[in-house]
Amino acid sequence: MSQFDYDLFVIGAGSGGVRAARTAAASGAKVAVAEDRYLGGTCVNVGCVPKKLYSYAAHFHESFDDAVGFGWTLPAAPEFNWATLRDNKIGEIKRLNGIYGRLLEGANVRLINGRATVTGAHEVQVGNERITAEKILVAVGGWPWTPEFPGSEYTLNSNQVFDLETFPQRFLVLGGGYIAVEFASIFNGLGSESHLVYRGDLFLRGFDQEVREFTRQEMGKKGVNLHFEANIERIDKVENGLNVTLTNGESLEVDVVLSATGRRPHLEGLGLSTLGVATQENGKLAVNERFETSIPSILALGDIIDGPELTPVALEEAMHLVAHHYGDTPVEPLDYAHIATAVFCHPNIGTVGLSEEAAREHYNAIRVYSADFRPMKHTLSGSEERCLMKLIVDDESDVVVGAHMVGEEAGEVIQGIAIAVRAGLTKAQFDLTVGIHPTGAEEFVTMRTPTRC
């Protein structure tokens, strides 16, 4: 009989924590999970799921306009009802919360409602209950961070913006990451006068430069007001909303200010610092390839360790963690080099592998293939939206080391291309693939002449 109450105790019932709990339990481990907020974590409740639902909603505005060129007329101007979208979203999230609960129950995993504190290498405290475990997994995710400045108390964070009481006719987002870019697009599409303020010269730092510039151009065409090389100096509450003073001298009056300035590991009050669990300079927990912290019985995954802060990454980390600790055969370390991602701004971004800039640093010579075109749909819709597709090729091996797209459903398209990039296919193999016509995606297998080397 084990000397511990549980083989694995998981703190956090987000995507990574629940996947690890269920998979470990399926291998025969006795597992419990503690969660003090909501099942499904950031993604289900205040992240990927509601954001994508709102992004869908925002696209309808353009769809109504596009339909006219195809012969459709609407009897009256479409009207948007914020409360309907918000409340339907709440209903969908409750449904997903229930699914997560049933998944844990079906896996025979005990769910404890409460914030757990790690009190020892093999011990946690939840309320008045002391629990021991052979291994403790910390999977608490991140939490929005807002800088302090005069009036910063008037800002909302990305956890709060989904459930506004009334729809903001004038919306401002502070930040230059994917959350900021997505919400600027969403509220613009829903009908707000939308502003994005970012201290740098261009948003989406770390993405391919051409992709960033193309996205800036397309978002500007759609009506998003972009304020680069500026920050918020102060916010003052006024009769009709909020007066935002920028460091470049501009003054904007808006209804809502969203601070999308980053997320940090949600480690406060967990007791890890008291135990001396090592962290990195960025505040994230340091782990090895087995996801062990400096105290080997304490494990960590997801947004609180280094790596892309993406739900599928946390899920894959959970599978690898369980294979390492409860599997019968050795497992290779997780490959972080070929992880595809999407940004659900308008138009969408999809990307996998290296940017052009990173490839130039990594390889002696590269070839770049790109296509910038007006999609067939818009020859009749009248929209001026354009699409960008791009392949980065290592010249010596001919292997495609990066693929990027800005355009409608970019995430859907790049998911398939990611398989080819992950498999190490060459440009010659892309060229041998017969395209599906007429589609925009066929450009990925019909680009023959390098744009530049």
Q: Write down the catalytic residue from 122, 227, 325, 437.
A: 437
Residue 209 tokens, joined: 């430069």
Q: Assess contact for 203 and 196: CB atoms under 8 A.
A: yes
What three-state secondary structure class fits 252?
strand
Maximum separation of any 2 CA atoms in the chain, in Å: 73
Annotated catalytic residue 362? no
Four-point Cα dihedral 120, 122, 125, 126, nearest 10: 150
Residue 15 tokens, joined: 């995507």
Output the DSSP codes for 168-197: -SEEEEE--SHHHHHHHHHHHHHT-EEEEE
Cβ-defined contacts of 177-182 (< 8 Å, 24+): 177/203, 177/204, 177/205, 177/260, 177/262, 178/204, 178/343, 178/345, 179/260, 180/258, 180/260, 180/261, 181/215, 181/219, 181/343, 181/345, 182/51, 182/55, 182/343, 182/344, 182/345
Alpha-carbon distance of 9 to 124, in angstroms, equals: 8
* Residues tagged active-site: 437
